[in-house]
Each structure stands twice: as C-alpha cells, then as structure tokens.
Amino acid sequence: MKYDHILVRYGELTLKGTNRKRFTNVLKENVIQSLRSLEGTRVKCERDRMFISLFEEANVNEVMNRLTKIFGIKSISPVFKTTQNLEDIKQLCVSLAKDFAHGDTFKIDVKRVEKSFSLDTYQLQRELGGVILKSVDHLKVDVKRPTHNIKVEVRKKGVYIYTKVINGAGGLPTGTGGKTLLQLSGGIASPVAGMEIMKRGVKIEAIHFHSPPFTSEKAKDKVIELTRILSERVGPIKLHIVPFTALQKQINKSVHPRYTMTSTRRMMLRVTDIILERIGANAIVNGENLGQVASQTLKSMYAINDVTSTPILRPLISLDKEDIIKKAKEIGTFEVSIQPYEDCCTIFTPKNPVTEPDFDKVVKYESVFNFDNLVQEAADNVETIEINKDYKTEKDKSTDALIDELF
C-alpha cells in the first residue's frame, strides 16, 4: 500500500491565540520552499493540522526527511485517506492490518473531529476492531502495549488512517522571531547555539573572525561547512567573514598578556555590533557556557559585554559539556567542529589568561591605543557569502571538475 498523504502536526503553534494564523502561514511557506524541488506534492493548511497530498511521482521518504527538519513541526504521519463511508473505512483498516506480522497485537484509536459522523468514538472503535479480528486471524487486541496503534481521524473532508508518528524538529517556524547574528567560531558549541536559537523561530546570519596567515583556509572552509549544515534546516544563511589579523596583532602589542583574550572578545563584539546594525538584526547569539573556559566566567562576561548594549543570547549558558556534544552529534556538526584547524581565539591564547578580569584594568590596557579605526576597517572589509545546503567551496568545485574530466 502506498501512502497518499502526510499529516503534519503543529505542536507549540496550537497554543497561539489571535496571531496563530501568522505562524501557520509562515510554516506553510517554509514547507512549500523545502519541498519545491520535489515532484508530486501539494500543501494544504488547516487550523490544527497541515496535509501534504502525495501524487504518484512523489518520493515519500525524501518528503518525510525534509519535513522532520523544519522548525515548527512537532510530528508527522504518513497516512491513507478514504471517505466517511463506514465500509470504505473498514476495508482500509483490514488491508492495513493484513501486513502486520503473525502474533502482533493492535488497538484502534479514534479521533472524531467531524462531530456529524454517524457513529461516536467508541462505536467506531468497536466496529473497526471487530472487523479486523474477523478478517485477520493472526492478530489480537492489546489496548495497553499494542504492537500497532491504528489511528483513525474522522474529518470533514475524509477519514485519515495511519500507524506511524515520526517526531519533527519542534519549536517555532523560522521567520517568526526576528533576526540575530551568530558568532560562529568553528568550535562545538556555536553551531549548536545557532540551531537552538533557530528552533525558536529566529532567522540567523553568521559572523566569523578569520586571521590569516595565523588561521588557514581550511579553518575558513570548516566554518563554511558548519554554516552549510545549519542551512539544511532553514534555507540560505549569510556568512560574514571578518579579516581580524590587524586587530588581533595590535591587541597583542598593546594589552597585558593575561588580558588579551578579554580584549580580543571585546573587539569582536564591537565589530559584530557594526555588522548587526548593517543587516538589521536584533540580537547577538553565541555558544558561551558559564564557567567552561576563562572568558566565560561571570566577571569575564561583564567586562566583555560592556562594549555593547545589544542583547546577547546564550542558549547553551547552563548546559553540561556532554549535553552540548550530544546535541552537536544529533544535528551533524560534531565531526566538522572537531577538525584540528586553529581559529583566531586559540592562536594567541596566553598561558595563564585572567579568569576574573578587573574591569578598570581592561579599560586601562586598551586606552594606550585607539582601536576605533582598526575596528571600522575590519567591519568595512567583511567578505559575505550566502550558503545553502548545496554550497560548494572553490576547492570542492575544482575537485568535482577534475573527477568529471578523468571519468
């Protein structure tokens, strides 16, 4: 039997009030965009459900794979649709049950949305359970722990029958929560922070600080790949690559060695603020985790945050490192993040960085040099790349061309 529809559940969207329609409309558009390159689908939105019609040419597995990555979808189910005629419903349930293995158990779970249907919930359960037991000898009923839960939804435009419920990404539809700028270092935490904030309906652009020749092109390619993985769930993401070499060299000349990490992050925030205003974002996002490293103590955060009044969102602030690693593996960024290419935060790391910086000393060390021009210069020379799930670096393109030429 081939599925003819996919049922999409909204989850958290059902809690919305008068603005629910705005959220569902954004989700519908996100679904349409995700499925646009696939044939054989049509999207229809209802108040508490979305239905994807599947035609003969539809690749059901690929459609489901894409839907489970879209934020705002709690779960999906591949379903069979039939009419409200009782005999048609019985026939479909029996056909479905005949594919169950010998000795399996089942239960019937009815949701009667269309109240004008001739039978009530319990009557329909009895009718369907009875006809399955009569028609399929090798099955038994188990209402507590069934092997198969046959779910029947009676709606105005038909009856939907299914057995599978597949978890989605959850959260809110991307585009309903404003825009943020993600500080993407290339480590384990920052891509996870980006994914967590996107789950709340927020669009992101990313910023990365690149310090050639101290950081290599491979470090840059690593960040591009992390952005590409994030874009698989939300569509194209702009990555702003900041030339940070001059600023970083000057910091190491002017600032006390124990305070260079604090000042480096302060300059990063100053540049980020300029880019943020330029792109019209509302907040900065980073992967900071309280107490994890020297720059992530409360006193360090206080000293670093002083240079900006922009809200800084830290979705991972209280998580254990093990939890962050687990999330990184789940979203597919972990193996990329652990590639051994230096970023600008590690190349000049002092042997003994201050963990509780004295704010007055930070200001004093930075006052010996006016960093304003270098900050503006870094912001003015940003390289911006728009990255989608199919993005390839120049190296990847050259490799593909060579393979085509050889084979």
Per-residue pLDDT tens digits for 269-281: 999 999 999 999 9
pLDDT at 395 over 80: no
pLDDT of residue 332: 93
Burial class (CB in 10 A: 0-12, 13-18, 19+), 142: middle
Domain match, 158 and 222 both:
no
Do 156 and 210 reside in the same domain of the chain?
no
In a domain, 58, yes or no: yes
Chosen domain end from 167, 194, 213: 167
Same domain, yes or no: 266 and 132: no
CA 103 – CA 319 distance, rounded (Å): 44
**pLDDT class of 11 with cuts at 50, 70, 90:** confident
pLDDT value at 346 more than 70: no
pLDDT at site 341: 78
- Per-residue pLDDT tens for 303-318? 999 999 999 999 999 9
Q: Is residue 24 part of a domain?
A: yes
Mean of pLDDT values over 354-362: 90
Burial class of 353 by CB neighbour count within 10 A (0 to 12, 13 to 18, 19+): middle
| Residue 13, domain CATH | 3.30.2130.30
User: When comparing pLDDT for 402 and 139, which is higher?
Assistant: 139
pLDDT at 371: 95
pLDDT digits (tens, 9 = 90+) for 360-372: 999 999 999 999 9
- Residue 395, in any domain of the structure: yes
Q: Looking at the domain assignment, is residue 407 inside a domain?
A: no
Per-residue pLDDT band for 5 (boundaries 50, 70, 90) equals: very high
pLDDT band at 133 (very low <50, low <70, confident <90, very high): very high
Say whether both 208 and 348 belong to one domain.
Answer: yes
Query: Quick one: pLDDT band at residue 217, thresholds 50, 70, 90?
Result: confident
- Are 91 and 205 members of one domain? no
Percent of the chain with pLDDT over 90: 73
- 60 and 148 within one domain: yes
- Same domain? For 155 and 183 the reply is no
* Average predicted confidence (pLDDT) for the chain: 90
What does the chain come to in residues? 407
The predicted structure's pLDDT at residue 355 = 85
| Virtual torsion, Cα 149, 154, 155, 156, nearest 10 deg | 160
End-to-end CA distance of the chain: 40
Instruction: Render pLDDT for 315-341 as a digit per residue (tens, 0 to 9).
Output: 999 999 999 999 999 999 999 999 887
Place 183 in a pLDDT band, splitting at 50, 70 and 90.
very high
Question: Whole-angstrom Cα distance, residue 259 to residue 294?
Answer: 11
The reported pLDDT for the residue numbered 392 is 75
- pLDDT bin (cut points 50, 70, 90) of residue 348 is low
Residue 174 lies in a domain: no
**pLDDT score recorded for residue 180:** 97
Let me know whether 34 and 127 are in one domain: yes
> Is 240 found in the same domain as 157?
no
Last residue of a domain, one of 167, 197, 228: 167
Write down the pLDDT at residue 340. 80
Q: Which of 167, 194, 209 is the last residue of a domain?
A: 167
Instruction: Give the model's pLDDT for residue 352.
Output: 81
Residue 292's pLDDT is: 62
pLDDT given for residue 49 in this prediction:
87
CA distances for 393 relative to 11, 132, 185, 217, angstroms: 37, 56, 18, 11
Asked whether residue 340 falls in the same domain as residue 391, the answer is: yes
Checking if the pLDDT of 128 tops 90, the result is yes
Q: 51: which strand partners?
A: 7, 44
- The mean pLDDT value for 8-28 works out to 84
Same domain, residue pair 59 and 105: yes
Query: Has residue 33 been placed in a domain?
Result: yes
The pLDDT, as a whole number, for residue 290 is: 87
The boundaries of the domain holding residue 47 are: 5-167
Is 221 found in the same domain as 147? no
Residue 402 confidence class, pLDDT cut points 50, 70, 90: low
Give me the number of domains the chain comprises. Answer: 2
| Residue 396 reports pLDDT greater than 80 | no
Domain membership flag for residue 406? no
pLDDT score, position 401: 58
Predicted local confidence at residue 345, as pLDDT? 67
Burial-class residue 87 by CB neighbours within 10 Å (0-12, 13-18, 19+).
Answer: exposed
Q: Is 406 helix (H, G, I), strand (E, B) or coil?
A: helix
189 is a domain residue = yes
| Domain harbouring 267, CATH code | 3.40.50.620
Residue 150 clears pLDDT 70, i.e. is over it: yes
* Residues 344 and 220: beta-carbon distance below 8 Å: no
229 has pLDDT over 90: yes
Residue 202's pLDDT is: 95
